[in-house]
Amino acid sequence: MILSTLFSAIAFPEIDPVIFQIGPFAIRWYALAYVAGLIIGWRLMMRLAGSENSRISSKQVDDFLIWATLGVILGGRLGYVLFYKPDYYISNPAEIFMVWQGGMSFHGGFLGVVLATILYCRFQKIVILEFGDLLATVVPVGLFFGRIANFINGELYGRTTDAPWGMIFPGGGDLPRHPSQLYEAILEGAVLFVILLVFRKTRYAEKPGFIMGLFFAGYAIARSIVEFFREPDAYLGFLIGGLTMGQLLSLPILIVGLYFMLRPSRKAV
């Protein structure tokens, strides 16, 4: 069946990962995606803080940008190194710092931003759950751009498929595959962003931590669904019970998300 669709498969668009290069200095789509996600998310978060009845000021959001940037980059890279390819990077430690080659883990970036948020809120004496609700609302913007960057890099592609939108990726063999990066951009990015905005207008948003919990749960569900279409990492394959690393790492995020959504209302911390 797959062979019958091979001739109608969509060719991967020839997009140079490097936007332009002057000598050794290069601007890559991968880096630009992270910059765009951080800046757009930061501006949206400032707008939410300034337009809603929030005890968090636009100035406090503005000052958080550098903390978020460090949390995303350091946490995302270290998470990828530790969760996905520890043996490789132990043998090639210098490549740990070559982030422009790709290789970032959302789960690592998630932990990095959580730590940065806790430290920043303690330092600024901000209510953590209220700040977390604001931050969680805009995180899908960064996820959207990050997954688009994965697509441009031709990495993290999906499993083979006979779907008419199957695509032949460089390095993915001759058979069409799911463009799973785009599935993730849509579900983790666009769809989750809309859901969070809608729930911000409901009474549920009055409970500190609910929107943050909704993001955690929504991301974990979206990621777990897409993992059924995404090719498991060759150096990991399928793990416990046929699950992938992405699904296993999403499970605790789902549990934490449900906790914040379902816990009784109490004073914010």
- Binding site members: 147
Question: How many Å apart are CA 207 and CA 263, to the nearest integer?
Answer: 10
Q: Which range has the worst mean pLDDT, 6-20, 39-53, 108-122, 123-137? A: 6-20
The tens digit of pLDDT for each residue in 34-62 reads 889 889 999 999 988 877 677 888 889 99
Q: Where are the domains of the chain?
A: 2-262
pLDDT at 267: 52
pTM for this prediction: 0.83
If one compares 239 and 60, the residue with the highest pLDDT of the two is 60
